[in-house]
Amino acid sequence: MTQATLIDGKAIAASVREEIGRRAQELQAATGKRPGLAVVLVGEDPASQVYVRSKDRTANELGFHSVKHTLPADTAEADLLALIETLNTDPDIHGILVQLPLPGHIDESKVLRLIRPEKDVDGFHPVNVGLLNAGERDHALVPCTPHGSLILLKRTLGADLSGKTAVVVGRSNIVGKPMASLLLAESCTVTIAHSRTRNLPDVIRAADIVVAAVGRPEMIRGEWIGKGATVIDVGINRLPAPELGEGKTRLVGDVAFDECLDHVGAITPVPGGVGPMTIVMLMANTLTAARRQLG
Ligand code: GUN
């Protein structure tokens, strides 16, 4: 028996996107300027190419000014830093995103630290990390995937998450840590679990909210999740699917989705859950950055 509500990330992303489009038009009417986004890709990683194309396309569809810089994999670190300096001072660019991962010879942290915090639409600069952790979220730019995940939670559970018990599985800088900060700011009781956590099933079973961001296909089993819990599955893993034909693959999350349906309260599907929110939140951050810079 299925009792779980499916959290429709596509539909929620579409409604957020509509609002961003409206606000971007208002900004343009007031200032004559469009939000400007620069996306930088170094190398030819196929997954990164797909993401970057999709970011550029969405920005264009929303009527943003969008610039894509594609650099060869052997680009010198100094050349990438010089491009970022140029974008930092370009008045038509309000948001800069450098697609990760970068090739091994480039110091990722050095690159991210050079982006002006006001233009850091990924929310990875230490100034934005610090503002979020200091409870100054309204002055920060917040990382897109956790921000989108929080919106899905609020659309599902209502705006007030205070007092709820949340477990974030995964401690990455891109998802796990900022997700925990956001939930703490919402007055949840937050646990960050990771690969060294003891009794992971028991830790997860105690949670009203489970956010899975470990990058391991279906690692979190249905029986680990408590009855009625809300599950946000950030994982996007590609598995071989010979049953679909030779060489075929399918996408799965970090949670064993089918095992959850008879007892959890709500769950995001993969695909169609968190994924569609991430790019929309990038556009939201670009709009926020533009409003602050033009205001
Ligand atoms: N690579 C995977 N996720 C992300 C992200 O959120 N931002 C950037 N810049 N690169 C990524």
Task: Give tens-digit pLDDT for 192-201.
Answer: 999 999 999 9
Instruction: Please confirm, yes or no, whether 154 is among the known catalytic residues.
Output: no
Ligand 1 contact, 144 CB (< 6 A): yes
Q: How far apart are CA 196 and CA 171, in angstroms?
A: 11
Closest by CA to 234, choosing from 274, 293, 191, is 274
Quick one: pLDDT band at residue 176, thresholds 50, 70, 90? very high
Of 45, 50, 51, the residue with max ligand 1 atoms within 8 A of its CB, to mutate for a pocket test, comes to: 51
Q: N- to C-terminal Cα distance for the chain?
A: 53
State the distance from the centre of ligand 1 to the C-alpha of 53, rounded, in angstroms. 13
Task: Give tens-digit pLDDT for 32-57.
Answer: 999 999 999 999 999 999 999 999 99
Query: SS3 breakdown of the chain: % helix, strand, coil, rounded to 5?
Result: 45, 15, 40
State the distance from the centre of ligand 1 to the C-alpha of 224, rounded, in angstroms. 29
ipTM over 0.95: no
Note the pTM of the prediction, 2 decimals.
0.96
Instruction: Please confirm, yes or no, whether 122 is among the known catalytic residues.
Output: yes
Domains (ranges, CATH) in the chain?
32-116 (3.40.50.10860), 143-275 (3.40.50.720)
Atom from ligand 1 closest to the CA of residue 282: 6
Residue in 56, 119, 120, 122 annotated catalytic: 122
Q: Does an H or E element contain 11, and which?
A: helix 9-31
